[in-house]
């Protein structure tokens, strides 16, 4: 399979696949004409990367999963290093959720206070001439 087909089947672009290769996440053997040649295992690998990317993982965080697959394991998260990434990401997510939640409450409080202090703002807004 060439890069275009792999990109299409993995739901990404050739540009992205070459970028993964430049980052050392994806390797390709070369056909006689210099074209990259991929197999089904590469498709699984790229799909693993995309799944984690969709979770918001950075590319570097997908590396343990990639190495796990390359080592012959059936799934990218069959290795301890991958589980560590899961746990770390989970902690990051919890931290992020806590901070965002706190900010949300602060902004809500600011809004409530400002609306209270200046109750005509909504009126001037709805009465404004919106061209």
Partner DNA sequence: GCTGGCGTTGACGTCGGGGGGAAGGTCTAC
Partner DNA sequence: GTAGACCTTCCCCCCGACGTCAACGCCAGC
Q: 36 — phi, psi (to 5°)?
A: -70, 140
Q: Should residue 2 be labelled a site residue for a copy of itself when binding is judged by CB under 8 A?
A: no
Q: Should residue 55 be labelled a site residue for DNA when binding is judged by CB under 7 A?
A: no
User: How far, CA to CA in Å, does 115 sit from each of 39, 122, 123, 126?
Assistant: 61, 8, 11, 15
Q: Which of 11, 13, 105, 122 binds DNA (CB under 7 A)?
A: 13
User: How far, CA to CA in Å, does 104 sit from each of 96, 99, 111?
Assistant: 12, 9, 10
Quick one: 22 or 123, whose CB is closer to a copy of itself? 123
Residues 71-90 that bind DNA (CB under 7 A): none
| Interface ranges with a copy of itself (CB under 8 A) | 55-56, 75, 77-80, 82-84, 86-87, 89-90, 93-94, 96-97, 100-101, 103-104, 106-108, 110-111, 114-115, 117-118, 121-122, 124-125, 128
């Amino acid at each position: 399979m060439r890069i275009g087909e792999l990109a299409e089947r993995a739901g990404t672009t050739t540009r992205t696949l070459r970028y993964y290769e430049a980052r050392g996440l994806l390797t390709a053997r070369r056909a006689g004409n210099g074209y990259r040649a991929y197999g089904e295992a590469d498709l699984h690998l790229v799909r693993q990367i995309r799944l984690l990317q969709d979770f918001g993982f950075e590319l570097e965080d997908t590396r343990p999963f990639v190495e796990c697959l390359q080592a012959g394991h059936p799934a990218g998260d069959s290795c301890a290093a991958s589980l560590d990434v899961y746990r770390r990401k989970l902690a990051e997510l919890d931290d992020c959720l806590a901070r965002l939640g706190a900010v949300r409450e602060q902004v809500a409080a600011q809004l409530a206070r400002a609306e209270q202090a200046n109750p005509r703002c909504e009126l001037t807004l709805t009465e404004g001439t919106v061209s």
